């Protein structure tokens, strides 16, 4: 069964053809990073305009590369939220038009369900499982009892991890998005600068990163006032160590308490080398299977949307033509 999946929730215009929810037939991503770089972040109006220009071409490319026609498809899937409303609308309307014109079922997918199901393209999922979602807009631990069931057991109370990375990077005058740059600096630096860890209440699975972000900014500011020059590498390494320590500790505790069979890493920050290494080491010791997607499936793509959509196809959980982009879509109500 083939699904054409479309993703336009933020600054990537993407389309993919996925077979049986676990096999990539084609996977096309057009990134807009170059257009947003000089603004230091994603500009919603620019994102929408690019999506309008790109979406038809990217879908055509995905279909051509898969070497199929619309009559070969079982459904058309699209990210329905969360994300930028104007950006979501472009994908949703493209999907609706194609579903209507080709008389195919339409499937709305939650973007974070997509990030989690990127792991389904790597291996079979084993339930119950826990997923750590770390992206530009989300930081949460998601418990899954079975396919298509999501329970958020903890989430960030302020900044998402990716957001904190990008803000710290901006303070260090690194290009947007700064996550990968910090990661590279951290790799050569040493975590010699004392920064806080936000553990919150003892039994809490929630996160907080705005305090850490402010601590980095204050440390830089205080040093420069005293005429001291801090090493960007050491600052990046110290920041990254603080982030990873909290993420990994809470992940381990959640995996043990919920007695999961598998632990999944998901979202753009899953591309982080330090986080991948530390999680791998710690879960090896725990004896719990850890799954981490390859880099191109961590950041936004449509293949992951096709993988998540397959669960809904099997359940015939289809959307109507009234499907709309919803920036506040709730993962637990999926
Ligand atoms: P969401 O998925 O929450 O809607 P998004 O789609 O904008 O947000 P993603 O595309 O999943 O976010 O991830 C982008 C984020 O990942 C950016 O904040 C970026 O800096 C971060 N990121 C990418 N690579 C790395 C890395 N190697 N280390 C740290 N952060 C990274
Ligand atoms: Mg993006
Ligand atoms: Fe994303």
Give, in order, the Cα–Cα distances in Å from 110 to each of 21, 194, 236, 291, 292.
Answer: 15, 38, 32, 20, 20
* Segment 78-101 mean pLDDT: 98
Q: Report the C-alpha gap between 232 and 269 in whole angstroms.
A: 20
272 is in an annotated binding site: yes
pLDDT on residue 194:
95
Asked if 138 and 155 count as a contact pair (C-beta separation under 8 A), the reply is yes
Give the CA-trace dihedral at 6, 9, 13, 18, to 10 degrees: -30
pLDDT on residue 74:
98
- Closest-CA residue to 293 (of 112, 116, 111, 119): 119
pLDDT at 34 over 90: no
**Atom nearest to 162 CA in ligand 1:** 18
pLDDT on residue 265:
98
Q: Whose CA is nearest to atom 7 of ligand 1?
A: 136
Residue with tokens 């725990």: 286
pLDDT bucket at 33, cuts 50 / 70 / 90? confident
Give per-residue pLDDT as tens, 172-187.
Answer: 999 989 999 999 999 9
pLDDT at 329 over 90: yes
Ligand 1 pocket mutation pick from 268, 274, 299, 308 by most atoms within 8 angstroms of CB: 268
- Residue 165 CB less than 6 A away from ligand 1: yes
- Closest-CA residue to 333 (of 104, 81, 6): 81
Give, in order, the Cα–Cα distances in Å from 98 to each of 4, 5, 7, 82, 105.
Answer: 10, 11, 14, 22, 10
Strands 151-155 and 139-144: antiparallel
pLDDT on residue 38:
85
Residue 224 burial class via C-beta count within 10 angstroms: exposed 0-12, middle 13-18, buried 19 and up: exposed
111 is in an annotated binding site: yes
Residue 245 burial class via C-beta count within 10 angstroms: exposed 0-12, middle 13-18, buried 19 and up: middle
How far, in Å, is the centroid of ligand 2 from the Cα of 259? 33
Give per-residue pLDDT as tens, 252-265.
Answer: 999 999 999 999 99
36 is in an annotated binding site: no
Closest ligand to the CA of 268: 1
Instruction: State the Cα angle at 61 between 75 and 71, rounded to 5°.
Output: 35
Measured in whole angstroms, the distance separating CA 14 from the mean position of its chain's CA atoms is 14
Q: Whose CA is nearest to atom 5 of ligand 1?
A: 136
- Closest-CA residue to 254 (of 277, 283, 280): 283
pLDDT on residue 182:
98
User: pTM for this one?
Assistant: 0.96
Q: Whose CA is nearest to atom 12 of ligand 1?
A: 136
pLDDT at 52 over 90: yes
Q: Token pair of 155, please?
A: 């989430």
DSSP lists the bridge partners of residue 81 as 110
Q: Whose CA is nearest to atom 15 of ligand 1?
A: 136
Kindly report the number of other CB atoms within 10 A of residue 280's CB atom: 13
Helix locations, 147-194, DSSP H: 161-171, 179-188
21 is in an annotated binding site: no
* Segment 114-122 mean pLDDT: 98
pLDDT at 40 over 90: no
């Amino acid at each position: 069964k083939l699904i054409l999946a479309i993703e336009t929730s933020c600054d990537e215009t993407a389309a993919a053809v996925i077979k049986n929810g676990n096999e990539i037939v084609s996977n096309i991503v057009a990134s807009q990073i170059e257009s947003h770089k000089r603004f230091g972040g994603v500009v919603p109006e620019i994102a929408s305009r690019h999506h309008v220009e790109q979406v038809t071409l990217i879908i055509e490319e995905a279909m051509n590369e898969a070497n199929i026609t619309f009559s070969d498809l079982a459904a058309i899937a699209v990210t329905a939220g969360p994300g930028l409303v104007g950006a979501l609308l472009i994908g949703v309307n493209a999907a609706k038009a194609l579903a209507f014109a080709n008389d195919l079922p339409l499937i709305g997918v939650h973007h974070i369900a997509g990030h989690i199901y990127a792991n389904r393209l790597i291996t079979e999922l084993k339930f119950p499982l826990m997923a750590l979602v770390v992206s530009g807009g989300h930081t949460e631990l998601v418990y899954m009892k079975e396919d298509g069931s999501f329970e958020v057991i903890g989430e960030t109370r302020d900044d998402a991890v990716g957001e904190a990375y990008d803000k710290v990077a901006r303070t260090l005058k690194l290009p947007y998005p700064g996550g990968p740059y910090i990661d590279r600096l951290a790799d050569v630096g040493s975590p010699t600068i004392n920064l806080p860890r936000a553990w919150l209440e003892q039994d809490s699975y929630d996160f907080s990163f705005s305090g850490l972000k402010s601590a980095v900014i204050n440390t830089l500011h205080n040093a420069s006032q005293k005429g001291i020059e801090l090493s960007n590498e050491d600052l990046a390494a110290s920041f990254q160590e603080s982030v990873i320590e909290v993420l990994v500790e809470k992940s381990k505790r959640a995996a043990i308490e919920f007695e999961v069979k598998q632990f999944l890493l998901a979202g753009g920050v899953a591309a982080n080398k330090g986080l991948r290494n530390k999680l791998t080491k710690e879960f090896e010791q725990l004896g719990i299977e850890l799954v981490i997607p390859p880099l191109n499936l961590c950041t936004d793509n449509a293949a992951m949307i096709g993988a998540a959509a397959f669960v809904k196809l099997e359940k015939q959980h289809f959307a109507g033509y009234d499907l709309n982009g919803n920036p506040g879509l709730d993962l637990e109500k999926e």
